Structure 1
Amino acid sequence: MIDFQNGSLFKLSQCNPADVAPLIEPIFVEGEQIMVAAKALRDYVVFTNKRILAVNVQGMTGKKRDLTSLPYSKIQSWSVETAGTFDLDAELEIWFSGLGKVRLEFKGRFDVTYLNRLISSFVL
């Protein structure tokens, strides 16, 4: 499982969902769709209409992947920190029942307010 507490290893930038779709769509349930995708060097996080998928790409070839499925139904609370003038990184912290806190850092102009609305629409 990905170490979500170590945000410095997991600074994400928004990416085109079509870039990661072929890698994860085989595990989707019926009706599941990608809403937002974000990528670090090799790892990525995908927000679907059913869950959050965190993918840790492993090994020299990158063929081995650790997929962590975080269902919206297990979210207890979340916090969003937007980027500022001097601190350009944004953060999303989510507390899951049975897992604890998951922390994701986003660099650049990532729209975390959209993620806030997205999570709200599935949890509230």
Structure 2
Amino acid sequence: MGILDGLMGNASEADLNAVAKDLELIITDEERVEKAFKIIRDLIVFTDKRLILIDKQGVTGKKVEYHSIPYRSVTHYSVETAGTFDMDAELKIYISGHSQPLSKQFRKDKSIYDVQRSLAKYVNQ
């Protein structure tokens, strides 16, 4: 991923070995990282058991929030594409028991479809 892509909010596939190493305290011994996308400093990680949304916070990014979502808890998801004058696309993930969806912003590019395709694969297993 180029630095310019990251600053623009474009998602790109992350190195699975590096992500697995970074998450060794979060994932279980029986769990496997299968797909990961990086959006600026944040990550969307698909394991064989759950979806993990990683939100790096603060100036240094040392404060990190991990959202762990079992696939069975995803009730539905939506993709809102960018329009002519609207530069942002948005992925919304609705979780059972929550009234508001988790939302991730993407720039006007095709990467939102890669993330949505992965979500469709894992949620519909």
Taking structure 2 as the reference length, what is the TM-score of the superposition? 0.67
Higher RCO (C-alpha 8 Å, min separation 6): 1
- Unmatched 5+ residue regions in structure 1? 1-10
* Shift, 1:28, TM fit: 0.6
| Residue range with higher mean Cα deviation, 27-36 or 112-121 | 112-121
* Shift, 1:37, TM fit: 1.0
Q: Does 1:76 align with 2:75?
A: yes
- AA at the equivalent of 2:33: I
Q: Match of 1:117, SS?
A: helix
CA contact (8 A) 2:72 2:123 kept: no
RMSD between superposed Cα atoms in Å? 2.8
Once residues 115 and 82 of structure 1 are traced to their aligned partners in structure 2, the CA distance between those partners, rounded to angstroms, is 16
- AA at the equivalent of 1:23: D
Once residues 106 and 35 of structure 1 are traced to their aligned partners in structure 2, the CA distance between those partners, rounded to angstroms, is 21
State the match for 2:124 in structure 1: 120
Once residues 46 and 12 of structure 1 are traced to their aligned partners in structure 2, the CA distance between those partners, rounded to angstroms, is 15
State the match for 1:14 in structure 2: 12
Q: Does 1:97 align with 2:101?
A: no
CA contact (8 A) 2:92 2:103 kept: yes
Give the percent of matched residue pairs that are identical in Structure 1 and Structure 2. 37
Aligned pairs (5 A) from 1:8-87: 11-16=9-14, 17-80=16-79
Taking structure 1 as the reference length, what is the TM-score of the superposition? 0.67
- AA at the equivalent of 1:109: K
Once residues 21 and 74 of structure 1 are traced to their aligned partners in structure 2, the CA distance between those partners, rounded to angstroms, is 23
Shift of the 103–60 alpha-carbon distance from structure 1 to 2, 3 Å rule, reads closer
Q: Match of 1:25, SS?
A: coil
- Unmatched 5+ residue regions in structure 2? 1-8
* Shift, 1:96, TM fit: 0.7
